[in-house]
Structure 1
């Protein structure tokens, strides 16, 4: 059996030392002491399973300065096989990666009988351990792995003292996680997680063993506009666990969703899955966790960096209404640590429901009954079209972008006496008052009935007033409503793109919104400072509204800076 050893469980009497402690005399073996320390520097742990008096053993090991190098020691007079099985389980290891050393052949046979996959040996192996290929481990001169098992040991002890109520224990543990998108800086650890984890690896999709090949694959994936790729750090009151998780979602498909056994039984994987909106995962093979177990995971907090002891709970307790188009829809991936209420564009019966300011103005002046009447009589106007957290003002922060204004036209409804914003494939035909229903239906897959289409042609007139004039009037009204609130305005790229008419509209929107935002003391995230050429666009021929993912990360980073400032000074 050539499986690598990750844990050595030592008998003490006539094994780790010579003689029997309970009979009054032992000879301490310094070379064995040194082996324990060297194993720790290789990331290989040592534990104890001895029939002895705990206080006496503890005194000897403490005096010799070796006590803290043993984790999960089991020192009592009970049967060894059951104790060793418990140690392996509590340390979240596989028996095949454990070596038990004992001078008593009966003890070895008993343990092997109950734990068939465990590796066993007599004391004669000790002298050759450091040369044995199974004990090479991985260089860990700082002994970080030992520190993490010490943390796990303290958690286990506290869990036992909690009386077995696991939820109470978890809630008292102050578990914190953080999401990180600088994946290119942690390729080695992520590569290791993907190819080595099994118990909490939900997709089991492996990557090339060659790290450079893996790096090229990941960089290409991160450039995809529709990707969400992050690693996850974990910490609690016992210490930091480092990078414990990774997920990669591309074009709505989950390719990787996995977590280290370091975070097992903490609810991390369920929490992250819920935070991501419960994406569909094709689970491969056996997994030691159930994602959808209907548990309300209220014991985990998202912070900026779980390796940092700074408490960001106040920051992340803030709720956010984030309303805009692609610039914010993608940036929101990097803001999942907050409670987000997303108000983005969505398709509806051949219409594109854009989150434009005109809809807010209508929503602020009509009743629920009027909204329902409009929705029932006006195709392309779902009842939620005029709803927003900006109207109810039941969140802490408002993040706004107005690029969607560019792609809407306004129409005056004779039935309702209101100017409605419309966007989508139907609009050009509506502006041209085209009544050839069958041809339009064939060309764009019309979802409206002929009666609905004719109603709109008869009821709606293209609104001739300058779009910018109407927009400026609506913006002034909106900003006045948000006066004194925490508001972040994201500017629009007005310089680089293939469609001049789009850039011209973006420029006009900036010229209206930026001075008004400054007048109202709103915060500004200036996207123009990050888009410095067509290389920053998602493709060189993009119209000017879609960027590389690094731009969206910078946008979200600026937003977080403002959030932290508000958390430190709530009066800002």
Structure 2
């Protein structure tokens, strides 16, 4: 059986005779076929970002996209006179996507060849293929979550947030307070399972073990009264960050076993991981139990080990480990913490089971 192709995370559109019919600067119609309009909306609903790389007059082209009611669908558009490969590369770099996650569609074979020459991992499509993009496996994620459907708006909120931060004068902590951040930690239900599974797959830098939990495995945990499956979501005055973290832990009389902590790298700078770890430590302290956290080093998650160590987790021996089943995955370390009371976060409001009220 053939492997499923890598999903496209962002499709970059040419404009003239691709997204619309005609050449704008030559007095072309610049009208969009309804099929193309449906493809744009369909990709957006699946969580696939879209951008533009077009050799055109920027102001005229963008104004036409606004008249057509399509401008809102496109992030980081590059409309000018430079090589298309440079535009596609700039879009990928700003999104922090690998070239293999990018696709490009253009009516001109020479433009596609130029992109392929400089960016061979980018998948290129002829304009006449636009109508069938929604049928292709690389544009068809297995599940579409709540966060998938609003991924474009979350990225647009991120760009506005970053622009304001660049112009902010004052201490970084003051800027974080100005965001009016709210983190919510909730027990996962049936509707959240796909978001939890997606987080275990998508996070790598801030994933404590790199272990993927399937939908079936997660459902089994939900049915076990000793297991906690928790999701963390965040929002601020610019909009939602969506699901940014997942915690899986087992409650025992003397020890809580944190099997997985994964948080999105996009919220590292906001201190989200520390807030989650401090909240869990405070809950464990109130319950009078120790914490043991699984950690397996990968080539990308050094930041997660630093987060655990900074939170006080050590290699010190403790009898509480004897209550735990042997690690099922090779290379798992078990880090130990005797938790104490934790101060509530100062830069965000935390809404969670047993959370103390925020200060500041």
TM-score, reference length from structure 1: 0.46
Please tell me whether the aligned partners of residues 175 and 299 of structure 1 are also in contact (alpha carbons under 8 angstroms). no
Bigger radius of gyration: 1
Residue number in structure 2 paired with 1:232: 232
| Deviation sequence 1:30-51 (CA, Å, 0-9, x none) | 2322321122233322211223
Do structure 1's residue 335 and structure 2's residue 338 form an aligned pair? no
TM-superposed CA distance for 1:65, in Å, is: 1.0
Do structure 1's residue 179 and structure 2's residue 185 form an aligned pair? yes
Distance 1:193 1:6 in 2: 15
Please tell me whether the aligned partners of residues 23 and 30 of structure 2 are also in contact (alpha carbons under 8 angstroms). no
Residue number in structure 2 paired with 1:21: 24
* Structure 1 counterpart of 2:153, from 147, 152, 157: 147
| Deviation sequence 1:167-209 (CA, Å, 0-9, x none) | 67545322221222355763332233224433432211222x3
Residue number in structure 2 paired with 1:286: 299
| Deviation sequence 1:246-273 (CA, Å, 0-9, x none) | 1123435431010235645433224323
> Would the alpha carbon gap of residues 88 and 303 (structure 1) be closer, same or farther in structure 2, given more than 3 Å must change?
same
TM-superposed CA distance for 1:124, in Å, is: 2.9
Distance 2:172 2:39 in 1: 37
Q: Which runs of 5+ in 1 are unaligned?
A: 306-333, 340-395, 397-572
Distance 1:59 1:26 in 2: 14
Residue number in structure 1 paired with 2:276: 272
Please tell me whether the aligned partners of residues 195 and 206 of structure 1 are also in contact (alpha carbons under 8 angstroms). yes
- 3-state DSSP class of the match of 2:351? coil
Distance 2:222 2:77 in 1: 42
Distance 1:166 1:110 in 2: 42
Please tell me whether the aligned partners of residues 197 and 215 of structure 2 are also in contact (alpha carbons under 8 angstroms). no
TM-superposed CA distance for 1:75, in Å, is: 2.1
Residue number in structure 2 paired with 1:7: 10
Q: Which runs of 5+ in 2 are unaligned?
A: 282-290, 312-343
Please tell me whether the aligned partners of residues 206 and 303 of structure 2 are also in contact (alpha carbons under 8 angstroms). no
> Would the alpha carbon gap of residues 249 and 140 (structure 1) be closer, same or farther in structure 2, given more than 3 Å must change?
closer
Do structure 1's residue 254 and structure 2's residue 258 form an aligned pair? yes
* Structure 2 counterpart of 1:36, from 25, 37, 40: 40
TM-superposed CA distance for 1:62, in Å, is: 1.0
Do structure 1's residue 99 and structure 2's residue 103 form an aligned pair? yes
Please tell me whether the aligned partners of residues 188 and 229 of structure 2 are also in contact (alpha carbons under 8 angstroms). no
Please tell me whether the aligned partners of residues 40 and 140 of structure 1 are also in contact (alpha carbons under 8 angstroms). no
Distance 1:336 1:116 in 2: 50
> Would the alpha carbon gap of residues 47 and 247 (structure 1) be closer, same or farther in structure 2, given more than 3 Å must change?
same
Please tell me whether the aligned partners of residues 302 and 337 of structure 1 are also in contact (alpha carbons under 8 angstroms). no
| Deviation sequence 1:467-502 (CA, Å, 0-9, x none) | xxxxxxxxxxxxxxxxxxxxxxxxxxxxxxxxxxxx
Superposition RMSD on alpha carbons, in Å? 3.7
Distance 1:13 1:7 in 2: 19
Please tell me whether the aligned partners of residues 41 and 140 of structure 1 are also in contact (alpha carbons under 8 angstroms). no
Residue number in structure 2 paired with 1:76: 80
Residue number in structure 2 paired with 1:88: 92
- 3-state DSSP class of the match of 2:75? coil
> Would the alpha carbon gap of residues 62 and 246 (structure 1) be closer, same or farther in structure 2, given more than 3 Å must change?
same
TM-superposed CA distance for 1:289, in Å, is: 6.9
Number of equivalences: 306
* Structure 1 counterpart of 2:124, from 109, 113, 120: 120
Do structure 1's residue 133 and structure 2's residue 137 form an aligned pair? yes
Please tell me whether the aligned partners of residues 24 and 30 of structure 2 are also in contact (alpha carbons under 8 angstroms). no
Please tell me whether the aligned partners of residues 173 and 347 of structure 2 are also in contact (alpha carbons under 8 angstroms). no
Residue number in structure 2 paired with 1:216: 220
> Would the alpha carbon gap of residues 162 and 118 (structure 1) be closer, same or farther in structure 2, given more than 3 Å must change?
farther
Residue number in structure 1 paired with 2:325: none
* Structure 2 counterpart of 1:194, from 200, 206, 209: 200
Distance 2:89 2:172 in 1: 21
> Would the alpha carbon gap of residues 39 and 235 (structure 1) be closer, same or farther in structure 2, given more than 3 Å must change?
same
TM-score, reference length from structure 2: 0.70
TM-superposed CA distance for 1:113, in Å, is: 4.3
Please tell me whether the aligned partners of residues 90 and 156 of structure 1 are also in contact (alpha carbons under 8 angstroms). no
Residue number in structure 2 paired with 1:520: none
> Would the alpha carbon gap of residues 285 and 140 (structure 1) be closer, same or farther in structure 2, given more than 3 Å must change?
closer
- 3-state DSSP class of the match of 1:18? coil
> Would the alpha carbon gap of residues 23 and 69 (structure 1) be closer, same or farther in structure 2, given more than 3 Å must change?
same
| Deviation sequence 1:224-249 (CA, Å, 0-9, x none) | 6xxx6532111111112332211123
Distance 2:153 2:231 in 1: 22
TM-superposed CA distance for 1:63, in Å, is: 0.8
Relative contact order higher in (CA < 8 Å, ≥ 6 apart) = 2
TM-superposed CA distance for 1:55, in Å, is: 1.7
- 3-state DSSP class of the match of 1:121? strand
> Would the alpha carbon gap of residues 8 and 217 (structure 1) be closer, same or farther in structure 2, given more than 3 Å must change?
same
